[in-house]
Amino acid sequence: MVRFRFVLRLTLSTALSAVWVAGPALAQPVLRSTDMVTAQPAPNAAVTPFVTDLASEPKPARDQLIAELRQKVKYVFVVFNENHSFDNEYGTFPGANGIYADATGPRDAAATPGFTQSWTDSTGATHTQMPFRIGPDENATYLDSVDHSHTGLARKLGVVDGKPTMSGFAAADYARLGSRGGAAFNAMGNQFARLVMAHTDCDTTPFFWNWANRFTLFDNIFATEDTPSTPNAIAMFAGQSGETQWVKHGSTPVPAAMGNHKGNLQAAPIVNDPQPLWGSQYDATKEGRQPDNQADGYGDNNIATNLTFANLGLTFSGRELADKMKQDRNAAVDQADIAKDIPFITDRAGTPVNWRWYQEGYDHEPNEAAGEASHAGYISHHQAPQYFGYIANNPAFAGNLRGVGDFFNDIKANGLPKDNGVFYIRGGGSNLAGLTPPIQNPNFPGALTEADRATIARTKHGDDDHPGYTDRQISEAMAARVINAVASNPELWAQSAIVLTYDESDGFYDHVAPRVLSYGPDGLPLARGVRIPLMLISPYARAHVVSHAEGDHNAVIETINEIFDLPALASLPEEKAALISGQDAAFNGPNGFVQHHLGPRDINTPEMDDLLSGFDPRRLDGSVPPLPASYAMTDEAVVNTLPHYAGKGCTAIGMTPVDRALGIHSEVPAHFNTMPSTLPAYN
């Protein structure tokens, strides 16, 4: 039996006061119903000069706030990371709705959904596991990936009577491997069932915590789809993974054959991690062909159908859309489902918005020898625009897809568009800086051999934060380089908003139940998925607050729409019609659940807020100075030195995680292994 000691002081003890009391102006965070923002407690010396009083701030009308935002922000950067739940990364962040407390104070374990998880292994032994913290002693900067399959995530939600219980995380992770039988798989399953309940803090990701402490952290944002990475990457660009395409065409797999390749293309909505059609073995394009990385998995049945629903590439184009769509190599097929959207957007005569999707390995990267691009670090199933024929098969948009090295070169050469832009930045399976993961404890999960060290260096050097092939500090170093690049350009910083967020949770435990907004053709919950981290970094951001605004990736899209005066994807004629058709009984979910959300939902509703609550109205109206660029930057020497702050990140950034402040001690399970599949000898 795993021992766990849970100590919770329910009175305002000295430790509690240190976390929740922050001086007279911020004595207790006040939950405002208008914008759902609370002050983080105890600002440190670096933060205090920039904290403003929520209670006395002006309350501009929504339209006024948007108008002021449009005057100030011309560039949006989306740093789009991979696979961590909110509780896994920020579960002990002061002032957030975390594992042990929320904005109002401590919470009893009994009132925390899924706090105690149980499973029975193949020997008949029953185990229980509660959340526990890992850090430098457990080499927590690199982990193996837990179960984040569509079916596994559905089990983890544990939906009962339409409401997730968040009770199935450990059991689902055990079942994925333990059900195969045998002692080795049983041991591996037990390790993963524990790993899924682990969480980290500022000793593991000090840069992420520091930005969240200095700017606005959102603690009520969820994955759009209850699925792995691909559908949520697509949702960041389209607000859905193909629900409207399902409504129009059904969900039957699409036969595909080319040469000796025979298989079925995965139909929409996409719920797994298939590769994009464009660049695959089924793509007949000769000139301007999209890249692939065969190591990423291109089985004949692991290719997505051509996606034909609306995405931001259309609305970004504004009055130029019709002309751009004329360059589509197969317009009759690619544009059939957006035929009415194209004139709607074009006739609106909106100002075009520049956009680029920078992703590591897409083209030749600076760390490669001269010659052809290897695409070695390219995770092609994370590249959302490549799934859409009218983008990937259209030379008018080809220049918008670039490698991550191009981002830094474009910034350095002052090569970003001068008038506006939305730029997505994604890492990948390697890192351009040539960093290797830091081994902070050579005796965890056992006395590491030279072969073990080589395995870790070879398998954990990616920088998009995906457990399994990345290191967390290499990943936060990548984010720091992006933020430093923007902040080091005064003109750019003064007009920017940076959103740092994730595609999905990787299946790590989170206690906050998402709303079930839709079910897929398989009858499993489709929207929403497990809660994910999101923070807003900007000269005009609120400093040292947590926003509890509810949303998913559509919240990012909705905010982009507001800044650049774009029509909502949900308002486009084809998408709007499909959303209405999806309410037909033929698409009902379990127990007659009416599907009101089969499509994008980037319109402000009680279920979907935007990110406006992260902006300070006083910084937008000029009554308070903007946050300086230096406030966002991280010293380059620190960025390039691993482990960051010698493994003492919390001390370095002046933060005390909630569990430590409250005297909550969680024991790491005996003989625990954070890498059950990478180093199975230690299971």
pLDDT at 518: 98
Measured CA angle at 434 (ends 428, 437), to 5 deg = 80
pLDDT of 155 higher than 50: yes
Q: For the chain, what is the mean pLDDT? A: 93
C-alpha 128: how far from its chain's center?
29
Q: How far apart are CA 503 and CA 430, in angstroms?
A: 18
Q: 520, 521, 539: which is closest to 529 by C-alpha?
A: 520
Q: 491-503 burial, b if ≥16 CB within 10 A, otherwise e?
A: ebbbbbbbbbbbb
Quick: pLDDT tens for 476-488.
999 999 999 999 9
- The model's pLDDT over 170-179, given as tens digits with 9 standing for 90+, comes to 999 999 999 9
Q: Is 50 exceeded by the pLDDT of residue 20?
A: no
Q: Is 12 helix (H, G, I), strand (E, B) or coil?
A: coil
Tell me, what's the pLDDT at 30? Answer: 38
Q: Which amino acid is at 656?
A: T
Q: CA-based angle 313:383:219, to the nearest 5?
A: 85
Check: CB of residue 558 under 8 Å from CB of residue 603. Answer: yes
Mean pLDDT on 318-343: 97
Cα distances (Å, whole numbers) of residue 456 to 61, 141, 437, 451 = 53, 11, 7, 9
Q: Which residues, other chains included, contact 329 with Cβ-Cβ below 8 Å and sequence gap of 6+?
A: 285, 393, 394, 395
pLDDT greater than 50 at residue 79: yes
Q: Is the pLDDT of residue 266 over 60?
A: yes
- pLDDT, position 635: 97
Identity (one letter) of the amino acid at 352? Answer: P
What single-letter DSSP state applies at residue 682? G
Q: For residues 651 and 647, give the distance between their C-alpha atoms in angstroms, rounded to a whole number.
A: 9
Predicted confidence (pLDDT) per residue in 140-150, tens digit: 999 999 999 99
Residue 460: pLDDT above 50?
Answer: yes
Res. 184 pLDDT band, cuts 50 70 90? very high
**Token duo for residue 296:** 């990423």
Q: What does the pLDDT average to over 519-548? A: 98
Contact 152, 176 (CB under 8 A): yes
Phi, psi angles (nearest 5°) of residue 366: -60, -25
Instruction: Determine the Cα angle at 320 with ends 318 and 321, to 5°.
Output: 75
Mean pLDDT in residue range 412-431: 96
> pLDDT at position 281, please?
95
Q: Which two tokens stand for residue 264?
A: 């079925």
Q: Which neighbouring-strand residues pair with 496? A: 75
Q: Which residues contact 585 (CB under 8 A, 6 or more apart)?
A: 592
- pLDDT given for residue 486 in this prediction: 98
pLDDT at 259: 76
Name the residue with tokens 């600076």.
366
At residue 13, the 3 state secondary structure works out as: coil
Alpha-carbon span 427 to 358, nearest angstrom: 9
The residue behind tokens 């293309």 is: 265
Q: 111 is written with which tokens?
A: 């009132």
Residue 35 has a pLDDT of 57
Q: What is d(CA 455, CA 675) in angstroms, rounded to the nearest whole number?
A: 11
CATH number 3.40.720.10 is the correct assignment for the domain at 14-440+460-682: yes
**Which tens digits make up the pLDDT trace of 504-528?**
999 999 999 999 999 999 999 999 9
- Please state the domain extents for the chain: 14-440+460-682
What whole-number percentage of the chain has pLDDT above 70?
95
* pLDDT for residue 338: 98
Above 70 in pLDDT, residue 368?
A: yes
Residues 92-101 have pLDDT tens digits of 999 999 999 9
Average confidence (pLDDT) over 272-301: 94
pLDDT in tens, 623-651: 999 999 999 999 999 999 999 999 999 99
Non-local (6+) Cβ contacts of 469 within 8 A are 429, 459, 460, 461, 462
Cα distance between residue 320 and residue 327, in whole Å: 12
Residue 287: exposure state from Cβ atoms within 10 A (0-12, 13-18, ≥19): exposed
The tens digit of pLDDT for each residue in 217-226 reads 999 999 999 9
| pLDDT attached to residue 261 | 85
Residue 74 pLDDT > 50, yes or no?
yes
Q: Enter the DSSP assignment of 589.
A: B
Euclidean distance between CA atoms 404 and 500, whole angstroms:
16
Tell me the one-letter amino acid at 166: M
For residues 363 and 402, is the Cβ–Cβ distance under 8 A?
yes
pLDDT of residue 416: 95
Tens of pLDDT along 103-114? 999 999 999 999
Name the strand (E) or helix (H) holding 411: helix 404-412
Contact 543, 25 (CB under 8 A): no
pTM: 0.95
Q: Residue 408 belongs to what H/E stretch?
A: helix 404-412
pLDDT in tens, 23-55: 223 233 333 334 599 999 999 999 999 999 999
Q: How far apart are CA 483 and CA 634, in angstroms?
A: 8
Q: How far apart are CA 428 and CA 406, in angstroms?
A: 14
